[in-house]
Amino acid sequence: FCGLLLIAELLLCVIIIKKVPYTEIDWEAYMQEVAGPIERGDYNYENLEGGTGPLVYPAGFVYVYSLLYHVTDKGENILLAQYIFAGIYVLFVAFLMDIYHKAKAPPCLLLLVSLSRRCHSIFVLRLFNDGIAMLLLYVSVSLFIRHRYLIGCLFYSLAVSIKMNILLFSPALWLVLIHTYGFFGSALPLSICAAVQVLLSAPFITVNLQGYLIRSFNLGRVFIHTWTVNWKFLPEDIFVSKELAISLLVIHLSLLVYFIVYKWKLPPYSRPSSSCSSSSSSSPPLSP
């Protein structure tokens, strides 16, 4: 069933590419942003920008889209880029299927993915970096459920390097690592996450550390109301207000504290669980 669904997904992507007009939103800006290091040798993040504004994604984004820049003739061959993203989408669905299978989810749920107009649009019509980031995240989740925590952290950090939003998954990851390695032992896998960020960003932080951190991990960035989906019901003046941003942040942090204190059972701090020493025989650190 899964194999047939993947083939159907690939065919559907080809049909969408051929029949539905490509939507230009960020692709040209992406190409302009990565042209700085490629064409000018400029690794100062404060100088990297495109038609939609400054570069606001971490270093992994630059490497991935630099590769696409070369493969697609400086971004001119959009059709080739769409087919590349169709392949990325099929991989994305394949890893999602693997996670669903491990969770013993009903196969019919996979059909909901195939019916998602938004998912197909993000990958093959918009060429957004969200798809690449989520593919890497699902690779890491697939590794985590097999108790491959160290290499899973590597892929998780690669996902963060494509788009900062992936950090929203970090509280859950930290909890899993504490259950597996103990409080202090979790420093090892977390150090892998940090090392990946440092290595990828090295060419940029050696030129302008502050500029890189402010641009790529800017928590105060104001988003454009035109492109929001979930908050479209709000008036624009409220959507862009600092009051809304601060309120959402406070609610988010409050819920995290609530779950840590009242819902999540933390293990003893000083010792790792058995899953750390014997990944093949251990049970998952948390129930689904």
The DSSP string of 142-164 is: HHHTTT-HHHHHHHHHHHHHH-G
Report yes or no on 286 lying in a domain: no
Closest CA to 276 of 186, 173, 196: 186
Residues 120, 10: Cα–Cα separation, whole Å: 11
CB 231 within 8 A of CB 239: yes
Report yes or no on 283 lying in a domain.
Answer: no
Q: Averaged over 83-101, what is the pLDDT?
A: 95
Total-model pTM = 0.86
The answer as to whether 67 is a domain residue is yes
- Determine the structural domain holding residue 211 and report its residue range: 2-277
Specify if 22 maps to a domain: yes
Eight-state DSSP code of residue 271: S
Q: Render pLDDT for 40-63 as a digit per residue (tens, 0 to 9).
A: 999 999 999 988 889 999 999 999
Tell me the per-residue pLDDT of 103-142, one tens digit each, with 9 for 90 and over.
Answer: 888 878 888 888 888 899 999 999 999 999 999 999 999 9
Domain annotation covers residue 287: no
Task: Read off the pLDDT of each residue in 253-278 and give the average, rounded to a whole number.
Answer: 67
Span 246-261, pLDDT tens digits: 898 899 899 988 888 8
- Overall number of domains in the chain: 1
